[in-house]
């Protein structure tokens, strides 16, 4: 057993520590656009206030991430693993909104009292 901070005995690389500033603010997004160049991927995020029907207002992009393809692939793999764990625990995430929305029938109407 080493006490000098050598790499762990497993084949897993050590987890790199992160520093989060006290004023770090999370953002919410329901819109993402991916563009890129031969060297980098550009991910734009915003809030789509009209996610259904025919939108009349443009989506305002609030945040932009620019990363190289190596970082993008690591992100893709991490997101994929996280989504797979979520679906294993809670069921399939249906991204087609028309398959998630149930038409309301007269039996679904709230009771009047």
pLDDT tens column, 15-46: 888 888 899 889 999 999 999 999 999 999 99
Q: What angle do CA 111, 112, 113 make, to 5 degrees?
A: 115
Residue in the structure block whose two tokens are 């995020």: 45
pLDDT tens column, 37-85: 999 999 999 999 887 778 888 999 999 999 999 999 999 999 999 999 9
Q: Provide the pLDDT confidence category of residue 107 given band limits of 50, 70 and 90.
A: low
- Residue 101's pLDDT is 76
> Global pTM?
0.66
């Amino acid at each position: 057993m080493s006490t000098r901070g050598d790499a762990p005995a497993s084949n897993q690389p050590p987890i790199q520590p992160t520093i989060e500033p006290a004023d770090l603010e999370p953002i919410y997004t329901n819109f993402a656009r991916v563009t890129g160049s031969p060297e980098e991927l550009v991910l734009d995020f915003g809030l789509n206030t009209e996610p259904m029907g025919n939108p009349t207002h443009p989506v305002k992009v609030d945040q932009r991430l620019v990363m190289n393809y190596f970082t993008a692939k690591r992100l893709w793999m991490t997101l994929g693993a996280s989504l797979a764990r979520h679906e294993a625990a809670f069921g399939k995430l249906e991204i087609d909104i028309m398959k998630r929305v149930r038409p309301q029938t007269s039996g679904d109407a709230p009771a009047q009292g």
